[in-house]
Amino acid sequence: MSSNQQPIVLGKIGSSHGIKGWMKITSYTDSVEGIFDYSPWFIKEQGEWREVKVTQWRFQGKALVACLEGVDTREDAQQLTNCEIAIQADQIKDLSEDEFYWRDLIGCTVTNTKGYNMGEVEQIVETGSNDVLLVKANVKDAFGKAERMIPFVPEQFVLEVNVQSKQILVDWDPDF
Q: What is the pLDDT of residues 93-121, one digit of tens each?
A: 888 877 888 888 999 999 999 999 999 99
pLDDT score of 27 more than 60: yes
Contacts 24+ apart (CB under 8 A), 98-104: 100/161, 100/163, 102/131, 103/8, 104/163
**CA distance linking residue 87 with residue 130, whole number of Å:** 26
Q: Are strands 117-125 and 132-136 parallel, antiparallel or unpaired?
A: antiparallel
Q: 14's torsion region: left (phi>0), alpha (psi -120 to 50) or beta?
A: beta
Confidence of residue 49 (pLDDT cuts 50, 70, 90): very high
- Give pTM, 2 decimals: 0.70
Average pLDDT over the chain, rounded to an integer: 93
pLDDT score of 92 more than 70: yes
Which amino acid is located at 50 in the chain?
A: R
Do 86 and 8 touch, CB atoms closer than 8 A?
yes
Percent of the chain whose pLDDT exceeds 90: 80
pLDDT score of 3 more than 80: no
The pLDDT score that the predictor gives to residue 4 is: 59
